[in-house]
């Protein structure tokens, strides 16, 4: 790349707006630290230079590679995939490929090419995006992420900067968070009534000129019942997607019947599979003596009662309803693992902690101390790999998501853990792979441009050293990541990780 070209590139600034206010002390400290860093630092030259290369790059050819068809499960060996700009212009037998003379060639011999990996449940803006979640996701082959809701204009700015090649990061699907009148977080729209909820959908989903603002409304636990049904009705009228936690004021079946596109996290379903769902929901909805962030404790305290009131027939009805309504489920199994295993070393992953801002890690360590020595067997049995497998067998679409950066859940890295846990739940490696590739594209209505490898599709791809269909763990054996037509080879991926470590040292 020439210096003159470099000079034409503008430095993108990390951005956490100054009005960020979180609802508790830890988050407030985190936000103020992030703001200070954001003001002090411009995005790394590394990332900016990478971001500036998009339109000028020659074509890319991944030659003699085994292309995995995530729909049929077949592997097309000795294929070549040619990318021009950010689109695939050829995908077929290597012998018939017309590779441009100036193409950058990635030798795919012995390697496997899969479509983009999505993390369908993240909270990516807990820290300066370009110093933490963004590079970690890209380095791990996660080129798409559904953010469950932060300050909407900040998230949208990142989304557009990434799409325009001005910033490095995963393709973002942007939620805007709606919750009940609890907490004071300014990135949440607090609704108390049906009128509030309708107004929230109208103003957050679309601008005054009618153009789309957020990609979806992200529902949270404390939306009052009337407000939820108002929100659902307005979203249906506008044909606007709403998804997220099932509010405690309604049942999973009611949420599904109201058009909620996806249900997040296993604990909503766990309660739905008991004969006392409404009682458990009422207990959790009572915030009188509850601190924010106590969910795992609440879960554990209810676990024994949940197990004793488990109702397979009701569970079957719930699953049938979800399948009939095409309501997807994002189990986020990995998010429960640290709690289920007493925060042992295997679930804390100390080898990745250097990629985590100290203040975020501090919050995680606080969880270790604050959560009493768990009854691991009880926590483990309160969420269920079998139930996830049963959802799958019942025809409910599953989405891979991590809930990063929940305690010891690492952006990028933990998505691969989730895929392995989905296999443990009874999915085949192919079915697990679909939850992060084809299924997200289907869920988002983007199968015309994403989700599989073919001519005309956006070039979001992961080149693997080994076959993920024989062992899902092979998704971690990344040779190169192609994000929106840009190659991140081993050196570039190492540089992304190095950037995070370096940026966090300023912390
Ligand atoms: Zn979440």
CB 348 within 8 A of CB 406: no
Domain residues for the domain of 210 are 27-49+113-505
C-alpha 160 to ligand 1 mean position (Å):
23
Lowest-confidence segment of 103-107, 309-313, 321-325, 350-354 by average pLDDT: 309-313
Q: What is the domain-level CATH number for residue 37?
A: 3.20.20.140
**Does any domain span residue 288?**
yes
**Cis link prior to 330 (omega < 30° from 0)?**
no
pLDDT band at 85 (very low <50, low <70, confident <90, very high): very high
């295997």: which residue's tokens?
Answer: 346
366, part of any domain = yes
Please count the other Cβ atoms lying within 10 Å of the Cβ belonging to residue 275.
12
What number is the average pLDDT over the span 292-296?
57
List Cα–Cα distances, 188 to 194, 202, 204, 228, 499, in angstroms: 16, 15, 11, 15, 31
Residue 260 CA to ligand 1 center (angstroms) comes to: 16
- In the reported structure, the alpha carbon of residue 122 is separated from the centroid of ligand 1 by a whole-number distance in angstroms of 6
Beta strands per DSSP E along 48-200: 60-68, 75-84, 87-93, 104-107, 112-115, 117-122, 142-147, 171-179, 188-190
**Structural domain contains residue 489:** yes
Mean pLDDT of the residues in the chain = 86
Residue 18 has pLDDT above 60, yes or no: no
**Ligand 1 midpoint to CA 313 (Å):** 28
Number of domains present in the structure of the chain: 1
**Cα gap 368→77, rounded to integer Å:** 47
Distance 246 CA to ligand 1 centre (A): 12
Query: How many other CB atoms sit within 10 Å of the CB of residue 151?
Result: 21
pLDDT tens by residue, 452-501:
999 999 999 999 999 999 999 999 999 999 999 999 999 999 999 999 99
Nearest-CA neighbor of 103 among 65, 60, 56? Answer: 60
Query: Which pLDDT score, from 0 to 100, does residue 410 have?
Result: 98
Regarding pTM above 0.85, the answer is yes
User: Cα separation of 231 and 58, whole Å?
Assistant: 47
The vertex-234 CA angle with 402 and 231, nearest 5°, equals 50
In a domain, 56, yes or no: no
CA 103–ligand 1 middle distance (angstroms): 41
Q: Domain for residue 58, yes or no?
A: no
How far apart CA 32 and CA 329 sit, in angstroms, is 34
Residue 46 has pLDDT above 80, yes or no: no
pLDDT of residue 486: 95
Residue 458 lies in a domain: yes
- 472 CA to middle of ligand 1, Å? 24
The reply to whether 99 falls in a domain is no
Distance in Å, CA 243 to ligand 1 centroid: 11
> Does the pLDDT at position 49 exceed 50?
no
Q: How far is the CA of 133 from the centre of ligand 1 (A)?
A: 15
pLDDT tens-digit series, residues 217-233: 999 999 999 999 999 99
Q: Is 434 within the bounds of a domain?
A: yes
| Separation of CA 485 and ligand 1 centre (Å) | 29
Average pLDDT over residues 248-269: 94
Res 117 pLDDT > 80: yes
| Ligand 1 geometric centre to CA of 401 (Å) | 9
11 versus 141: which is more confidently predicted?
141
Give the whole-angstrom CA distance, residue 363 versus residue 353.
Answer: 13
């Amino acid at each position: 790349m020439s210096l003159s070209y470099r000079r034409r590139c503008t430095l993108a600034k990390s951005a956490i707006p100054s009005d960020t206010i979180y609802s508790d002390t830890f988050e407030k400290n985190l936000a103020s630290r992030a703001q200070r860093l954001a003001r002090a630092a411009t995005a790394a030259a590394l990332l900016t230079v990478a971001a500036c290369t998009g339109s000028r790059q020659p074509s890319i050819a991944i030659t003699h590679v085994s292309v995995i068809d995530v729909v049929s499960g077949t592997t097309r060996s000795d294929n070549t995939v040619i990318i021009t700009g950010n689109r695939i212009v050829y995908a077929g037998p290597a012998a018939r490929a017309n590779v441009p003379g100036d193409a950058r060639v990635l030798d795919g011999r012995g390697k496997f090419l899969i479509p983009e990996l999505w993390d369908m449940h993240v909270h990516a803006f807990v820290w300066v995006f370009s110093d933490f979640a963004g590079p970690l996701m890209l380095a791990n082959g996660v080129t798409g992420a559904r953010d469950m809701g932060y300050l909407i204009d900040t998230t949208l700015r990142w989304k557009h900067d990434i799409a325009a090649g001005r910033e490095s990061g995963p393709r973002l699907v942007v939620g805007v968070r709606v919750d009940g009148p609890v907490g004071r977080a300014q990135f949440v729209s607090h609704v108390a009534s049906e009128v509030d909820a309708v107004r929230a959908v109208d103003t957050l989903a679309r601008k005054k000129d009618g153009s789309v603002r957020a990609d979806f409304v992200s529902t949270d636990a404390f939306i009052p019942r009337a407000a939820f049904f108002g929100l659902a009705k307005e979203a249906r009228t506008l044909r606007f997607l709403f998804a997220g936690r099932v509010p405690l004021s309604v049942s999973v079946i009611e949420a599904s019947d109201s058009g909620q596109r996806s249900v997040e996290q296993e604990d909503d379903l766990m309660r739905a599979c008991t004969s006392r769902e409404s009682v458990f929901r009422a207990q959790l909805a009572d915030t009188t003596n509850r601190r924010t962030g106590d969910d795992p404790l609440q879960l554990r305290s209810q676990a024994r009662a949940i197990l004793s009131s488990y109702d397979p027939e009701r569970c079957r009805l719930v699953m049938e309803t979800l399948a009939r309504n095409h309501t997807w489920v994002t189990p986020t199994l990995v998010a429960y693992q640290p709690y289920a295993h007493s925060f042992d070393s295997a679930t804390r992953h100390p080898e990745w902690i250097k990629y985590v801002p100290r203040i975020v890690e501090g919050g995680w360590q606080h969880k270790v101390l604050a959560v009493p020595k768990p009854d691991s067997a009880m926590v483990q049995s309160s969420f269920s790999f079998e139930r996830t497998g049963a959802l799958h067998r019942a025809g409910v679409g599953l989405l891979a998501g991590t809930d990063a950066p929940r305690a010891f859940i690492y952006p990028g890295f933990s998505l691969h853990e989730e895929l392995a846990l989905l296999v443990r739940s009874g999915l085949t490696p192919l079915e697990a792979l679909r939850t992060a590739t084809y299924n997200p594209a289907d869920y988002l209505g983007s199968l015309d441009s994403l989700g599989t490898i073919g001519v005309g599709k956006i070039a979001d791809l992961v080149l693997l050293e080994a076959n993920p269909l024989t062992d899902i763990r092979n998704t971690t054996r990344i040779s190169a990541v192609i994000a929106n037509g840009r190659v991140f080879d081993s050196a570039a991926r190492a540089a992304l990780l190095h950037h995070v470590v370096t940026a966090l040292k300023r912390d």
